[in-house]
Structure formats: structure tokens, C-alpha cells
Amino acid sequence: MSRLQGRVALVTGSSRGIGAAIARRLAADGARVIVHARTQRDRAEGVAEAIRADGGTADVVMGDLTAGDTALDVVREAYAVHGALDVLVLNAGGGKGGLAADMPVETIDAVLALNLRSTILAASEFARLTGSTAGRVIFLSSGMAAHAAPGVSIGAAAKAGAEAFMRSLAQELGPRGITCNSVAPGCTRTEMIAGQSWPEQVVPWTALRRLGEPEDIADVVGFLASEEARWLTGLTIAANGGLVTTAANILARAK
Amino acid sequence: MSTKTAFVTGSSQGIGAAAARALAADGYRVIVHYGNSREKAEAVVAGINAEGGQAELVGGDLSDPQTPARLAREVAALCPDGLQALVLNAAVMPPSDIGSCSEETFDQIVTINLRAPFFLLQALSATLAEGASVVFLSSLTARRVTGGVAAYATMKGGIETLVRRAAHEFGPRWIRVNAIAPGTTATGPIAAWAETPQGFETTTRDQALKRIAQPEDIAGPIAFLCSDAARWITGAVLPVDGGALL
């Protein structure tokens, strides 16, 4: 399949997990991919090397998206590789959870910086640079942006804030034909949860009765990047197998 | 590999016809359905066959409460290997604001737009194959106040609730249930209006993407929801409206 032939795509946080699966999906669809990691260059190079081994094109850009205006630099460097950027996938995210009342200021700042501030900076720089006629901004959100759960309030606020940013950005970039959407995965089997037993508690709360795989999410991102999704903008697609709440809430109830 | 079959209600024209063509292009044998426009539906079937696809034709006026059960039997008979995609698209959209909607109009809308898809899903439940995808058509009007269509919008709100319930009822059988919610799309009388200066201005003013949606813009996402790439999406309503600002 070559539905993204000729496009250039940057996927932040793509040295592993969902981000790596997205990089592989977009490359398999024909896009030239820029793999990004914060510090682990060898892992990012490994993803890029695997893409090249499958006949794709991939390069690596490094940078801590929470530091200063590095998020701008990462987008600029990615643009510079081919002198173009069509697809921006804002996947890097995460951070410490905990009760809001217990949360040190530094942790709050770090969670907001990674999940919200870097999204705004990177998407804004993408808007300034891109001349693409099929521009796509795709933000990886989380079910916690929509569902209440204790212990993830800062992350939930950051993800919800970034979704709101994407909705309004869609209005600003729509006249240029650029679409801006979010994908909200449910509980997904990545190395973050490998070897732990609690994810099995999520399965009965999921209509399709299994956990998500990184490729389940990557295929939805691949659709949003494609021409078939040209009329979708400003929306959040939940890719969670019909999960009725969030894993964080299920665990809180189980305690 | 055996052929997958898709059934699309109201596929003689507009979004339904575009969805039938998109699914045929994806390799489905498509059962095209019409309520009254038999000739248009035959043209859709002929068009799919001319492209090398496979299509069949069934008819049935969904304003008749008996039709869903009869139609489901007919479709089931055409699907010895089960049904892999069910697109419940058929609908009517007469003016229906509270001040002017007659009981007859309300009953017609509820019968065609809500009762028929509910009982078609129920009657085709046994025919739906493991891994099948069900796609309802909702509307921007379910969530945003636009157009003089209060009763129509209320039924579409019901469809969105039905999607969530059905996703959980059918999930253990690996059957996914979702909805696509289009905004203003160039179909039927809307197509001509949207091309007038006032229609174009009114439509594009309220959306991020500054053009009029064509049926194919909606058919692509419907085909996506029926595809394996959407295997992890169920219970979702996807607004496909060019970024509605309302």
C-alpha cells in the first residue's frame, strides 16, 4: 500500500511502543518517516533501521520536548531532513501520576510541559513551516481526557487541554486544508505495562474483551493521515475496543 | 478466501450509494437497498458490476413497520456465509421543528430513522459474522442546533445512544458498532442549494474546511470503519463534517 507516497511524517516519541508502531505503519504506507526520541538514540535508530530494512525511508531527530523551545527545534530539524513536513504525529507523552493534593509543583510542571506545552509548541511550528496540501496534525490523547479517575488528574487536564487546542487549531488551519485530530487509546499493551497483572482487570470492561495492541492504534493514525480521512477534522477518535471507562478508574475501584 | 458481504440501506443515491461503491471497491459483495427509487438503485448495482465488483438488489419501503423483518430475511438468504458489514444509512429529513411537526411527520421519521435500523440490527443479529462491523449514520444535528429539524435530530441522538448500547451487547461476539455523523453534504436537494452563493457561504462559514462535502468524503470513513484497520474502534461516533464550528 502506498497511500502516503511522497509524504513526510514526524512521529514524536517513536523509539518504542505506540509511537514506534505508528512510525512503522506510516512508513509501510509509503511516507518518509522521522523517528524521534528524547534520549535513547540507539532505540530510535533501531526503529529507523527496521523501517529501512523493510524498504522504507526513515531518519532520526533527537530532543527533550519539555526543555525550553526544543519542541520547535525538533519540528524544524524534522522539516530540514527533506525540506518538507506533511504529517505531525504528537505521540510523546506520559509522566508521573498521583493525587493532586500530593503533587509537587515540579511534577505538575513536567506533566503539563510534556503533554500540553510541547503539543502546542510543536503544532504551532508545524503550522508555520508546512506548505503541504494534505497537512495532518494527529495528537495521541488518552481516555482519561474524557473519563474521570483519581490519581491522574494532572495528566487528564493536560490531555483534555491538548484536545481542546487541536479542535481550535483545526479551525485555524482548515482554510489551508490541514486537518487536526486526536486519537484516544484505551489500555494498550506496551512495555510500560509488560509483566504486570493489573491490565487483565481492564479486559472485562472492554466490549471486545481484550487489551489494545500498539498496531490497533497505529492503524487508526494511518487512516487519519490518509486521503480517506480528508473530511475529518477537529475530532477525537476513541480507539479502545469499547472500553467504558479508563484503566486508572478500574484500578481505583478494585482497591 | 471467501467473499465478504456488505448490506447498505438506502443506497440508491447520496451517501448510501457512495458507501456501496466504496465497499465494493474494497472487495465486498454489496447488497444495495432502495425504498422507492428502484431505477437509481439498479444504476448503482450496474455501476458496481461494470467496475468488476459484485452487487445485488433488494427493495423495501422502511416507512412500513413490517419491512425490517421481511428485508432481514431476504438479506439473510443472500448471505449463506454471514454478513460482514451492515451500514444503516436509510433516513428521511423533512422539516420537523417542534412548532410545525405534525404527528404524521414525527411517526414517519421515527419509523424510518430509528425503528427500522433498530429492528434491522435485531433481525440481522444472527446473520452478522464474527468480526462484522455495523455502521449507523448519525448527523451533526444530533449534537449541534442547526437546521429546522428538531424531530429528525432527536432520532439521531437516539441513534448515538443505540450505538453505545449495541457496541457492548455485540462486543463479546467481536462485532463492532459505530456511527458516522456527517454535516451538510451535497446530496439530493442539498447539493443544488450548497452550490448557490448563499448556500456555499452558509455551509463553509460554519466549518474549518472551506468546501462542500461530497458523498465520497463520507463514504471513505464508512469503509474505514468496516475495515480491519478499525478493529479497535467500537461504540464510537465519528463526526465527519469538515470541522463543524457550530
Query: What are the sequence ranges of the domains in chain A?
Result: 8-254
Pick the residue of A25, A205, A232 with the most B CBs within 10 A to test the interface with B by mutation: A232
With residue A183 as reference, give the H or E element that holds it: strand A179-185
| DSSP symbols for B17-84 | HHHHHHHHHTT-EEEEEESS-HHHHHHHHHHHHHTT-EEEEEE--TTSTTHHHHHHHHHHHT-TT-EE
CA–CA dist B131, B141 (Å, integer): 30
CA–CA dist A124, A130 (Å, integer): 10
Nearest to A241 among B229, B234, B243 (CB): B234
Q: What is the per-residue pLDDT for A1?
A: 62
E-strand ranges in B138-220 read 176-182
CB contacts of A227 in chain B (<8 Å) are 220
Calculate the alpha carbon distances from A116 to A14, A128, A201, A227, B2 in Å.
18, 19, 29, 27, 47
Q: Which of these, B81, B26, B78, lies nearest to B57 by C-alpha position?
A: B78
HSE of B35, CA atoms in CB hemisphere, 13 A? 18
Whether residues A228 and B223 touch (CB distance < 8 A) is answered with yes
What is the tens place of the pLDDT at every residue in A119-141?
Answer: 999 999 999 999 999 999 999 99
Query: Which active-site residues of B does the annotation give?
Result: 152
CB contacts of A219 in chain B (<8 Å) are 228-232
Determine the residue of chain B that is closest to A217 in CA distance.
B232
Determine the residue of chain B that is closest to A242 in CA distance.
B234
Whether residues B168 and A212 touch (CB distance < 8 A) is answered with no
HSE of A70, CA atoms in CB hemisphere, 13 A? 15
User: How high does pLDDT run on average in chain B?
Assistant: 96
Nearest to B217 among A222, A230, A235 (CB): A230
User: Which grid coordinates are listed for A98?
Assistant: 498521583
CB contacts of B26 in chain A (<8 Å) are none
Q: CATH homologous superfamily of domain A8-254? A: NAD(P)-binding Rossmann-like Domain (3.40.50.720)
Pick the residue of B169, B178, B209, B240 with the most A CBs within 10 A to test the interface with A by mutation: B209
Which stretches in chain A have pLDDT values below 50?
Answer: none
Please give the distance of CA A203 from its chain centroid, rounded to a whole number: 23
CA–CA dist B153, B144 (Å, integer): 9
* Minimal CA separation from A21 to chain B, in Å: 13
User: Which grid coordinates are listed for B231?
Assistant: 478493529
Determine the residue of chain B that is closest to A215 in CA distance.
B229
Tell me the backbone φ, ψ of residue A50, rounded to 5 degrees.
-65, -40
How much is the CA Rg of chain B, to the nearest whole Å?
A: 17
CA–CA dist A221, A182 (Å, integer): 9
Amino acid A91 reads: N
CA–CA dist B41, B53 (Å, integer): 15
Tell me the backbone φ, ψ of residue A36, rounded to 5 degrees.
-125, 140
What is the tens place of the pLDDT at every residue in B148-205?
Answer: 999 999 999 999 999 999 999 999 999 999 999 999 999 988 899 988 999 999 999 9
User: Which grid coordinates are listed for A131?
Assistant: 506548505
What is the tens place of the pLDDT at every residue in B67-108?
Answer: 999 999 999 999 999 999 999 999 999 999 999 999 999 999
Average pLDDT over residues B109-128: 98
Calculate the alpha carbon distances from A244 to A47, A144, A152, B228 in Å.
33, 11, 17, 21
Interface residue ranges in chain B relative to chain A, Cβ cutoff 8 Å = 167-168, 170-172, 174, 176, 207-210, 213, 217-218, 220-221, 223-224, 228-236, 238-245
Is residue A170 within 8 A of residue A179, CB to CB? The reply is yes
Supply angle C-alpha A59, A60, A66, rounded to 5. Answer: 145
CB contacts of B163 in chain A (<8 Å) are none
Whether residues B232 and A175 touch (CB distance < 8 A) is answered with no
Whether residues A231 and B208 touch (CB distance < 8 A) is answered with no
Q: What is the per-residue pLDDT for B147?
A: 86
User: Which grid coordinates are listed for B186?
Assistant: 451535497
CA–CA dist B92, A109 (Å, integer): 52
Cβ atoms < 10 Å from Cβ of A196: 8
**Per-residue exposure over A198-217, b if at least 16 CB sit within 10 Å of its own CB, e if not:** ebeebeebbbbeebbbbbbb
Whether residues A171 and B213 touch (CB distance < 8 A) is answered with no
CA–CA dist B22, B30 (Å, integer): 10
Q: What is the per-residue pLDDT for B92?
A: 96
Q: Domains in chain B, please, with CATH? A: 5-185+215-239 (3.40.50.720)
User: Which grid coordinates are listed for A240?
Assistant: 479502545
Is residue A120 within 8 A of residue A173, CB to CB? The reply is no
| DSSP symbols for B98-159 | TTT--HHHHHHHIIIIIIHHHHHHHHHTTTEEEEEEEEEE--GGGTS--SS-HHHHHHHHHH
Specify which residues B33 forms β-bridges with.
Answer: B58
Q: How confident is the model at residue B1 (pLDDT cuts 50, 70, 90)?
A: low
